[in-house]
Every structure is written in C-alpha cells, then in structure tokens.
C-alpha cells in the first residue's frame, strides 16, 4: 500500500505554495499548511518530547 | 440501541516538568473540574462497585487480587467486610480518589495515575459520540481552570500508550442479557473485537509494548492484549474482560466491559465502535448460529496480526480450518447484523459500516476522513516524504519509521484542544457527526432516555441534597431525615423518571 496519497478533497487552501518546495504538485492540497506547522514544531523538540512523554500504566 | 457508555483515561503531562506527579496533577484537575462546575457536582458513591466478581460466576479472594483491582478500596471497611458507603458530606475525601459527578450524568475522576471521564449511559451510538466529545470538552474546561488556579501548564492526551511500555484504557460498556451464556458471548464477540480494529483503530507508531520495533500499526491497544478471557484490566489484559459489576438488576443484566478498544479522536470511529459492537451483541443474544463460522482459531496472536498489517490482506486462521482477512470477517458480520437493525439509527450505522468497509477494500486512503489510523498514516506519510533524503543518483529515502518526529506526531495527534487530529478536524478534513452547539449542551445536560437523566437532573437542580451518586444509586441527605442518608436505588438503567428524584428536582429551595 502506498504510504502517501493526495487527498480527494477539493482544493481549499489559498495559502501560497512555499517558494522553494521541491515537492510534487500533489503536495499543494489543504493539508499543506498543517504539515508546515507540524514540520516546524517537530524540527525543534521531537526527540526530547518523545523521551519525556512517560505515563503510568492504567486499566 | 442497548444501553452503552464509554470511559476514557487520558494521558497527562506537565510540558514544563516531565517529572511532575501524575496522581497529584490528576487530583488537582478533578478539583479544577469541580470549580468549573460550580455547585453542581457530587461525590462518588462506591456502594455499587464489586471489582472482584467474575462474569463466570466465581469471586476472586481479596488477598489474591492485584492492588490496582481494588477500585472499591477507598471506602472498604476491613472490619465490616463489606463496602461502607454512608459517610457524611464533609468527611475526608482521599485526593488520590477524587471524583466529580456532573450534571450531564458523567463521572470525572482520578483513576490510578490518570484523569478519567466516564460518560453517561446512552441509548444510541450517536449519543455515545456526543457525550464522548462533551467529555473532551469538559476535560478542556477543567484544564483551563487548572492553569488559572495552579499557575502551571498541563496537557491531556486521548491515547492509550506512552511508547515506553505503559498503556491506559478506553473502555466500552454494553448492557446484555444475564441469561446469555458468558462463554458463548465471548466466543462469538471475539472475532468482532479482533477485526473491527481496521475500522476503529487510532493508529500507532511503534511495534511491541515498548515500541521496540520500528513501524506503524493500526491499533494503540493491540500489543497489550495478552489473554482471551480474564478479570484483569491492568496486567495480562484480556480480549474479553469478565469483571461482573452489572450496575443494574443482577438477575436480568450483565454489563459487558470491553477493554480492547482505542481512544478515538475521530467521531466516526467512536460511532462505529459502539454501534457495530451493539449490533453484534444483538446477533449473539439471538443465538445466531452464523456467528459460529467466524470463530477464530487463536484470538490473541490474531489481534496483533490484524493490527500490524496495514495492507489489510493478512489471513487469520479460523477454528473451522478456513481463513479470512479482517475485512472479510467484518463483511460477514455486517451481513449478519443487517437482520438485527431495529430503527433508523441502526440503518444509518449499517450504511456507514458498509461504505467504510468498501472504501478500505478499494483504497484505504480513500477512507481518511472517517478512519483514524488511515488519516494518521496519511499525515505520517506526507511528513516522511517531505523529510526524505534525496540521493545524487535521483533515488529518495523516506524518513525512517524510527525517527523521533514520527513518534512525536503520533503522541501529539491526540492532545486535547490543539493536537494534530483536532487541527485536521478544524481544517475540515475529518467527518463530524456532532456540532459544537450540541456538544456544549451535552457538557451540562444528561441524555434524556436513560437513568443518567435522573442523576444529572438532581445534581443540576438540587446539588445541596446529594451526598453522593453512583451509576445505580443517588444518596440523598435531607434535613428532614434527622441525620440519616437515603439511598435511592436506580437499578433500571432505562428508567429516566423516578417519583422522588423528579419531585426533589422540581422543588425550589
């Protein structure tokens, strides 16, 4: 199964495409601004975040 | 639909202090919830709990029980040998077992080291979604109050794993007839619980209880299922849990306690989880022999086989000697369940069930608006592609599954309020079954067609009279009783009227 897929949704995001993106055309759907946000957020602290997310067992 | 209810244990963390004590934070969060609710809360009545009674008819000795199973312990009296529940208001409450029973009929409380929301009893799968979503909103309201009162930050996660070995549950409860043979029930329900993951799994980065293997799987909970049947919920977790606390007239009813499910951030997943399971239970109550052909040869490994197979093509061995994929078992169950639809709501459920099975069969990614694991996998795939390594020879290598960014996305997916699932929903990429107005209403009002209406109504109208409330009891403290407490027993979960409660709720102060 392919791990990526263009959303079947109509194009709703009128934010401009990132200028330097070498990505394919299908990357310009409504998810793009969310992915930008995720990318920015995770570049900084992903490893530390994952390491410190420790829970006690529950039911 | 039969009576059902959902319990959610949230992950809890102070973003600025990973070492912060989760029991203390949970306790302060419940206290904040009480503050948010104003006067309209009640303590919990532990009178109805019996965590050591087994559906198979025997009792576990207290001394042999794991301490985490003693959920009635807060008010268990060694000398009396029974549960003592008639403490007066104002008596000491253990902060580690703090409760708030709310006007929407729910219970928000500290369970082990997590805050938990147990939704009110409902009689429709869609209502289960409404009051589950309302629970998230209540948790967020409590969170806002916590930040203000404590001056500390806090984050809540609607997931089931920390990736280090710990798991915490999202349990479903269904009322089923007592006369049904429990072993038969387990045997016929297990194929559904094992294969419904493809519809309702929340998705997880990491394989194995500690995430020791790199990769993606369909379910959060699958790797923690270690037995077919059992009483435990915190260790050696079983697919079929036998805890026998009916919270209803014992001679007529069982409460089936399902612990295999994932916490879902997608409303459609919650809808299908409750609705499909309720219909399969109707087929079981009717002793539909077609269910026999779907019995699995070995259910525990099948849970992991289904969860670890994102191609949806893995064959599961059946007891009959045949084999079937999870989608094939789901198709067969859908066909059987068509005969047990009772109302328009059931037909809506069947239509969604079929539509989403079709989508998963043709192209799983076409189900991304409805199926949580698919949406999560799609987002992870996009992130892997964006951060792929591009070699000089033109080849590209996707971001490795072991990369911390993918594990972080997985956890942050479920963060209440500003998690990635919430943002995906806000971006219009996720099917919704509720609207915000309705959810806001359900934070304050109980379902009208179950006994939750009684509990909620009295706590909303006359909290001054309520000493404590439980699933099947409301304890009343009136001046006219000269110091005695009156326990009103609500043994019928279908009854939404009661002469005394109705009268008290309409009395003005």
- pLDDT over threshold 60, residue A18: no
Distance CA B266, CA B158 (A): 11
The predicted structure's pLDDT at residue A45: 86
Binding-face residues of B in 383-442 toward A, CB within 8 A: 383-387, 390, 398, 403-405, 407-409, 411-412, 420, 423-424, 427-429
Give the DSSP H/E element, type plus range, for residue B349.
helix B344-362
Q: How would you list the strands of the sheet with B114-118, edge to edge? A: B99-101, B107-111, B114-118, B4-9, B170-177, B253-258, B237-241, B225-230
**Cα separation, B120 vs B452, whole angstroms:** 6
With beta carbons under 8 A apart, name residues in chain B contacting A58.
9, 111-114, 166-169, 234
Under-50 pLDDT residues of chain B? 73-85, 87
Q: What's the DSSP call for residue B320?
A: T
CA–CA–CA angle B81, B86, B91 (5° rounding) = 110
- Reading the block at residue B348, the tokens are 């809506």
Give the count of Cβ contacts less than 8 A between chain A and B.
Answer: 140
What's the rounded Cα separation, in Å, for the pair B206 and B325?
23
pTM higher than 0.80: yes
Task: Suggest the residue from A6, A53, A54 to mutate for an interface test with chain B (most B CBs closer than 10 A).
Answer: A53
Q: Would the CA dihedral through B426, B427, B431, B433 be positive or negative?
A: positive
Q: Are B244 and B227 in contact (CB under 8 A)?
A: no
Q: What is the pLDDT of residues B340-358, one digit of tens each?
A: 999 999 999 999 999 999 9
Retrieve residue B3's tokens: 């009576």
pLDDT value of residue B191: 98
* Contact residues, chain A to chain B, C-beta under 8 Å: 1-5, 7-9, 12, 22-23, 27, 30-31, 33-35, 37-39, 41-43, 45-47, 49-50, 52-59
Residues B457 and B476: beta-carbon distance below 8 Å: no
Instruction: Report pLDDT digits (tens) over B198-241.
Output: 999 999 999 999 999 999 999 999 999 999 998 888 888 999 88
DSSP B254-279: EEEEE--PPP-SSHHHHHHHHHHHHH
A16: confidence class by pLDDT, cuts 50, 70, 90: very low
- Residue in A50, A51, A52, A54 to test binding to B, most B beta-carbons within 10 Å: A50
Q: What is the per-residue pLDDT for B121?
A: 98
B20 touches chain A (CB under 8 A): no
Length of chain B: 509
Q: What is the pLDDT of residue B233?
A: 80
CB contact under 8 A, A4 and B165: no
Q: What pLDDT score was predicted for residue B96?
A: 84
Question: Is the pLDDT at A2 greater than 50, yes or no?
Answer: no
């Amino acid at each position: 199964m392919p791990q990526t897929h263009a959303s079947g949704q109509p194009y709703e995001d009128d934010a401009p495409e990132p200028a330097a993106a070498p990505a394919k055309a299908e990357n310009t759907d409504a998810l793009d601004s969310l992915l930008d946000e995720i990318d920015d957020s995770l570049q900084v602290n992903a490893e530390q975040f994952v390491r410190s997310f420790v829970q006690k067992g529950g039911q | 639909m039969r009576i059902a209810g959902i319990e959610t244990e949230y992950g809890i963390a102070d973003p600025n202090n990973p070492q912060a004590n989760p029991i203390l934070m949970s306790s302060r969060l419940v206290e904040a919830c009480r503050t948010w609710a104003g006067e309209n809360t009640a303590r919990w009545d532990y009178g109805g709990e019996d965590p050591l009674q087994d559906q198979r008819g025997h009792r576990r000795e207290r001394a042999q029980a794991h301490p985490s199973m003693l959920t009635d312990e807060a008010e268990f009296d060694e000398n009396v040998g029974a549960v003592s529940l008639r403490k007066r208001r104002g008596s000491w409450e253990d902060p580690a077992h703090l409760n708030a029973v709310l006007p929407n009929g729910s219970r928000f409380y500290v369970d082990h080291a997590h805050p938990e929301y147990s939704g009110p009893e409902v009689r429709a799968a869609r209502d289960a979604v409404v009051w589950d979503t309302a629970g998230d909103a209540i948790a967020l309201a409590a969170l806002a109050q916590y930040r203000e009162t404590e001056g500390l930050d806090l984050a809540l996660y609607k997931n089931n794993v920390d990736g280090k070995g710990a798991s915490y549950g999202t349990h479903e409860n269904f009322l089923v007839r007592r006369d049904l043979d429990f072993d038969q029930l387990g045997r016929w329900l297990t194929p559904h619980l094992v294969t419904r993951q493809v519809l309702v799994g929340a998705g997880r980065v990491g394989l194995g209880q500690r995430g020791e293997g790199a990769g993606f799987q369909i379910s959060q909970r699958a790797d923690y299922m270690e037995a077919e049947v059992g009483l435990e919920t915190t260790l050696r977790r079983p697919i079929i849990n036998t805890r026998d606390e009916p919270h209803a007239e014992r001679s007529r009813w069982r409460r089936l306690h399902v612990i295999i499910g994932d916490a879902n951030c997608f409303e459609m997943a919650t809808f299908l989880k409750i609705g499909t399971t309720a219909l399969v239970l109707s087929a079981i109550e009717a002793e539909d022999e077609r269910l026999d052909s779907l019995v699995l040869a070995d259910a525990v490994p099948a849970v992991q086989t289904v969860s670890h197979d994102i191609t949806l093509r893995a064959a599961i061995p059946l007891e009959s000697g045949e084999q079937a994929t999870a989608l094939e078992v789901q198709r067969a169950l859908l066909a059987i369940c068509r005969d047990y639809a009772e109302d328009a709501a059931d037909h809506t459920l069947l239509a969604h069930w079929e539509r989403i099975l079709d989508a998963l069969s043709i192209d799983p990614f076409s189900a991304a608006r409805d199926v949580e694991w698919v949406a999560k996998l799609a987002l992870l795939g996009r992130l892997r592609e964006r951060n792929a390594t591009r070699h000089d020879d033109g080849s590209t290598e996707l971001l490795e599954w072991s990369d911390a960014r993918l594990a972080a996305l997985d956890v942050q997916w479920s963060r209440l309020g500003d998690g990635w699932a919430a943002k995906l929903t806000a971006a219009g990429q996720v099917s919704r079954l509720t609207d915000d107005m309705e959810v806001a209403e359900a934070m304050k009002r109980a379902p009208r067609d179950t006994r939750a209406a009684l509990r909620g109504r009295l706590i909303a109208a006359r909290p001054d009279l309520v000493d404590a409330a439980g699933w099947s009891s409301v304890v009343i403290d009136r001046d006219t009783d000269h110091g005695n407490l009156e326990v009103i027993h609500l043994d019928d979960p279908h009854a939404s009227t009661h002469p005394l409660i109705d009268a008290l709720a309409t009395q003005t102060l």
